[in-house]
Structure 1
Amino acid sequence: MSGAGLDLAIIVVYFVVIIGIGLYAARGQKTMETYALGNRSMPWWAVLASILASEISAGTFLGTPSEGYAKQNFIYAQLVIGTIIARLIVAGVFIKPFYDLKVVSIYEFLEIRFGIITRRIASFVFLLTRSLASGSRIYVGAILLVLAWEVMHPEFLKLDSEARFQQELTIYIGAVVVLTGLTALYTTFGGIKAVVWTDLIQVTLMFGSAAYVFYWLLGQTGGWSGFFESVKQPTFVNTGSDPGKSMLQNLKDTDLKWIFQQEYTIWAAFFGSVFTTLATHGTDQDMVQRMLTSKDHKKGQRAVIMSGLIDLPVVIGFIGIGILLYRFYTQNADRAPLHDPGIFAWFMVHDLSPGLRGLLAAGLFATAMGSLSTALNALATTFTKDWYLGYFRPGATSNEQFLMARWATVGFSILLALIGIGTAWVKLKNPELRIIPIVLGSFGYTYGSLLGVFLIGMLTKTRGTCTGNIAAMLAGFAAVAVLTDLPNDVWKMLTGYKAYQLPPWMPVIAFTWRIMAGTLVTVLVGLCFRRKGDAYVARTL
């Protein structure tokens, strides 16, 4: 068997196993509760694997090594500090109220606390934002298929830029459709049980293949001593000032405008990253739905806390792969990338041996399909519970909801595929864009508003009303838009020049600070509105 044939055989076996397990999990499913929550019967360790598969997407698999390759240090890993802190807060504040109320869509909580309008607005924000974020991740998973096609057709590199753009976009369209279609197949029929059990296999394959590549690169580039020689300062902590001073002295001496403009600093880790993870793991149906499949709230809490502790070595490992790739291509300059499709994807296609290449490709597809399947199930669940049942057909039976959830999964598969194709178009037009800011930056504009409303509901008794929440969420979005200079960017894209100049004291904040800014503004505005009468208070349960 040829090298390409061996790789293809491994990938085909992977797809057959995953789809087979997904379809097997579909047996006996006839109710919405089974489809969305698996009757709350999933073991906590399987839920843990599903959380990891959802958050460690293809963007992490390919994007994190790119960060290590570009910077040759571990400062991106600082952000994990905030994710661990945030998961402790999620476990202590968010999970138990969702269990006590027996919600399927977490936005049901907002209806109980504030009213139907807040629930629908929050649900709409999730549907829109999660679709954009998850759709952009599909593009990342398609990168490997595009590179493989280029290797098999070397004449492609000789084309002029316009012809190359057209052909590359066509390949991306095909790759996105294939990945989305296969994932939608087992997700549509198998529901959350298919998602969790296939995620367990996918995350095992991903970790195993990534670990093997790390040690393979280590052996090719001079071992541990060579690895540490390639690490640049600052190694882990980036305060932006004199490393010989204390952290508090650095903060005093550092320009605050500079801090908010940087993506990866210790301040972004302790503040920006905390708010980001609170939003993604406490107010995003995609993540929380995994936790709600556990038998009780304590097991859901255990799963989310453990996922945070595992994140740190995982992120460090993927950054380490990027640093080793930098050393590998420094030593083998003739094999370095001719363009920047994602350094890890280039390495997989051009420099890995057959068999291992197929195994790692399956690991990449596992991450892409794992995060996509969880998103599809969460989007379908939210649409069915909050809109189909809550608005279009209030009297729908559990079986009717179940059937609607399946059709919604198909619908969102099509939508996410279109977004993935759009992301590919943007990246091909702007090759300098990096993967991580694309994936993480897309939800920074809206999730701060979502988190702010949840915090008001969770931590206060009578503050917040539907009218106040609308004003607060709009204020949060507007604040982030102004602080990221979004109006100028849009106007420049349409006209070619800026509409106005920002005052010199005002920072254009990095994507790691967006959710924090939106949350704080939303909370401050929302607290100005007081609800009369009794209200549900999560912390009293």
Structure 2
Amino acid sequence: MSAGTILVIIIIYFGVLILISNLVSKKSSDNDTFFKANKNSKWYLVAFGMIGTALSGVTFISVPGNVGSPESQFSYFQFVLGNAIGFLIIAKVLLPLYYRMNLTSIYGYIEQRLGIVSYKTAASIFLISRTIGSAFRLYLVVIVLQRYVFDFFDVPFAATVLISLGLIFAYTYRGGLKTIIITDTLQTFFLVSSVFLTIIFICQSLDLSAIEAFEAVKNSNYSKIFFYEDYLKGNFVLKQILGGIFVTIAMVGLDQDLMQKNLSCKNIGEAQKNMFTFTGIFVVINIFFLSVGALLYLFATKNNIEIPMVNGVARTDYLFPEIAFNHLAIFPAIIFLLGLTAATFATTDSALTALTTSFCVDFLNMDKTENASNPKNVKKRHLVHLGFSLLMFLVIIVFNSLNDQSVVTMIFKVASYTYGPLLGLYAFGLFMKSKTVHDKFVPFICIISPLVCFFLAKNSAVLFGNYVIDNELIIINGLITFIGLLLISKPATSETRF
């Protein structure tokens, strides 16, 4: 498929999203609409739309690409099983708490439970974590667009990033969450459709029926799910499942982005129905993503397709787009492009909305004033939205100059360092009801813990007899934070117990 054709499809795609945004936000574009979608979202739309937000372009490209590694294969599904358990814990423990307190920003719990400094610390951790994580996710699709489209037109990488963020800003800055609920539903439809259709197209290219494809994947060198032979390695089953549980609790349950969608439902019952439905779809769709990965490698082997090289390094992130754009017919290529674009931009638009909401609520106190939606505050919100778009741009540019790893690896590595303190803060608040903290010392604990974890992760093989710390790093990080908070704790008053 030519670069010009791809560009035309992208322009049409974003034209549709901007049209939807204008229709949705035509009646109202105030802050209540932007932050909470007027608390009137349909749970089934939220559940379906969250699939696109939770999966992102990382799942779409990096997860299938990683299947080719003998140390990976289908081991990611171990992590997914942990994710599913984490989602159920969120639905039964955290969502009821957030609804009972009627929160706009979930970090309001930390304010009431531990104090104002702890609250600002938690919100700051989210802003840093989500900005970096979302920038990495967007980076993944931008490098694909750059390689297969914009290099053809001699457009610099920085301009490609800026154009991408500008388009996202154009359809989110007015309606915010209300727009996102609708556009993410559409984008998830494209994402899910593209996964199933891609499997069909590759099976046709390999002359395999559905049953034959299942057997081919099952008997391939890519389909091993459970790794339990060596607990020292990062792919050990218990590490992956526990890591999946705690990463999910931290990156979803303690993250304003996905929780903001849940809090837009009418009541806790609908929010929980959303989470249960979402969990089932999430597990099934990841099975298909892993299957796509195995089929891609089988296709590549049959057709002597090499993994694309970048600066002398094999980049598995490029295998899926390489096959879709250069080795399949034009219709499968279009389907892939729609799926990739939907997966990545559904994540980024949601993140920008959540970052804007958190900053406006947690630092500008917009939900605590009677005139939160007056024109002056709406203008402030627009500037904050623009500011986070530019910040994400800078993060991507820096990351592009440094990165030589799979993006999925980088995302979970960064999350382990940044979300660990959030895990510790909420665990202390929920389980140590008789205690609170000396508020002013909390930021130091939340800085020291990731630094200790960095040292442990770098030297784990030496310190612990060849033991490799992997996804369980976030648990260690949260535990160190929890212990640090205990050291600076004091008896709680009746006002700080929940």
TM-score after normalising by structure 1: 0.83
Paired residue for 2:192, among 204, 207, 210? 207
Match of 2:372 in 1: 397
1:385 paired to 2:385: no
Which of 497, 510, 517 is the equivalent residue of 2:476?
517
Within a 5 Å distance, the mapping from 1:326-337 to structure 2 comes to 326-333=297-304, 337=308
What is residue 177 of structure 2 aligned with on the other side?
192
Question: Quick one: which amino acid aligns to residue 374 of structure 1?
Answer: S
Could you tell me how far 1:306 is from its partner in structure 2?
2.2
Asked if the contact 1:286/1:378 (under 8 Å) is kept, the reply is: yes
Partner of 1:46: 45
Q: Please list, as runs of the form range in 1=range in 2, the aligned pairs for 1:411-450 lying within 5 A after superposition.
A: 411-427=387-403, 430=404, 433-450=405-422
Q: Report the CA distance between 1:364 and its aligned residue.
A: 1.0
Structure 2 CA distance for partners of 1:338 and 1:456, relative to 1, 3 Å: closer
> 2:29·2:174 contact (CA, 8 Å) conserved in 1?
no
Question: Equivalents in 1 of 2:392, 2:123: separation in Å?
Answer: 17
- What is the one-letter code of the residue matched to 2:256? Q
Cα distance, 1:325 vs. partner? Answer: 1.2
Residues 351-405 of structure 1 show CA distances to partners (whole Å, capped at 9, x for unaligned) of 12223312321221111111001110010011111112289x9786332433322
Out of 297, 313, 319, which is 2:284 matched to?
313
Per the alignment, residue 326 of structure 2 pairs with 350
Q: What's 2:431 paired with?
A: 459
- Which residue of the other structure, out of 358, 368, 376, is the alignment partner of 2:352? 376
C-alpha separation in 1, matches of 2:447 and 2:394: 27
Deviation string 1:169-193 (CA, Å, 9 cap, x unpaired) is x643222112111011111112101
- Deviation string 1:192-226 (CA, Å, 9 cap, x unpaired) is 01111100000100110121111211222352233
Q: Distance in 2 between matches of 1:535 and 1:82?
A: 35
Q: Could you report, residue by residue, the CA deviation over 1:128-153 in whole angstroms, capped at 9, with x for unpaired residues?
A: 11111111111101122122148858
SS at match of 1:314: helix
User: Do 1:462 and 1:534's aligned partners in 2 also have CA atoms closer than 8 Å?
Assistant: no
Cα 1:462–1:336 change in 2 (3 A) is closer
Equivalent position amino acid for 1:481 in 2: F
Q: Which amino acid in the other structure matches residue 29 of structure 1? A: S
The CA distance in 1 between the partners of 2:300 and 2:466, in whole Å, is 40
Note if contact 1:172-1:424 (Cα within 8 Å) is conserved in structure 2. no
1:151/1:323 CA distance change after superposition, 3 Å: farther
1:69 is the counterpart of 2:29: no
Q: Assess if the C-alpha contact under 8 Å between 1:82 and 1:274 holds in 2.
A: yes
Q: Residue 526 of structure 1 corresponds to which residue in structure 2?
A: 485
| Alignment match, 1:37 | 36
Supply the AA of the counterpart residue of 1:24. Answer: L
8 Å Cα contact 2:197-2:335 kept in structure 1: no
SS in 2 for 1:123: helix
Asked whether the equivalents of residues 485 and 508 of structure 1 are also in contact (C-alpha less than 8 Å), the reply is no
Q: Name the CA distance, whole Å, in 1 between partners of 2:177 and 2:297.
A: 39
CA contact (8 A) 2:36 2:260 kept: yes
1:337-363 superposed Cα distances (whole Å, 9 cap, x missing partner): 355252112122211222331232122
Counterpart CA distance in 2 for 1:67 and 1:232 is: 10
Shift of 1:334: 5.2
The answer as to 2:165 corresponding to 1:180 is yes
Task: Quote the sequence identity (%).
Answer: 24
Q: Which amino acid aligns with 2:116?
A: I
Letter in 1 for 2:117: I
Tell me, yes or no, if the aligned pair for 1:147 and 1:346 is still in contact at 8 Å: no
- Give the match for residue 216 of structure 2: 226
Q: May I ask how many residue pairs the two structures share in their alignment?
A: 484
Q: Do the aligned residues in 1 keep the contact of 2:201 with 2:332 (CA within 8 Å)?
A: no
Aligned to 1:87: 87
- Write out aligned runs for 1:147-158 (5 A): 147-149=147-149, 152=152
Residue 125 of structure 1: CA displacement? 0.9
| Partner deviation per Cα, 1:396-418 (whole Å, 9 max, x = no partner) | 63324333222211110111112
Q: 1:163 maps to what in 2?
A: none
Looking at structure 2, the residues matched to 219 and 61 of structure 1 have their Cα atoms a distance apart, in angstroms, of: 20
**Aligned partners of 1:126, 1:532: CA distance in 2, in Å?**
25
Q: Deviations over 1:90-112 (max 9, x none)?
A: 11111122112221111111111
Distance (Å, rounded) in 2 between the aligned partners of 1:336 and 1:269: 26
The question of whether the paired residues in 2 share the 8 Å contact of 1:33 and 1:104 is answered with no
Distance 1:100 1:435, change over 3 A: same
Cα RMSD after superposing both structures:
2.6
State the distance in 1 between where 2:485 and 2:466 align.
Answer: 24
User: Are the equivalent residues in 2 in contact too, given 1:389–1:395 (CA < 8 A)?
Assistant: no
Larger mean Cα displacement after TM superposition, 331-340 or 436-445:
331-340
Residues 94 and 458 in structure 1, CA contact (< 8 A), matched pair in contact too: no
Identify if the C-alpha distance between structure 1 residues 171 and 521 changes in structure 2 by more than 3 Å, giving closer, same or farther: same
Residue identity in the other structure for 1:238: F
Cα distance in 2, alignment partners of residues 514 and 147 from structure 1? 34
Q: Is the 8 A contact 2:172 2:180 kept in 1?
A: yes
SS across alignment from 2:450: helix
1:530 aligns to what SS in structure 2? Answer: strand
Question: Gaps (5+ residues) in structure 2?
Answer: none
| Residues in 2 aligned to 1:514 and 1:59: alpha-carbon distance in whole angstroms | 20
Contact 1:118 1:470 (C-alpha < 8 Å) held by counterparts: yes
C-alpha displacement of 1:335: 6.3
Contact 1:6 1:354 in 2 (8 A): no
SS at 2:27's partner residue?
coil
In 2: Cα distance, 1:365 partner to 1:463 partner: 47
Matched residue type, 1:300: A
Are 1:362 and 2:338 matched, yes or no?
Answer: yes
Aligned CA distance change for structure 1 residues 281 and 338 (closer, same or farther; 3 Å): closer
Alpha-carbon separation, structure 2, partners of 1:46 and 1:269:
30
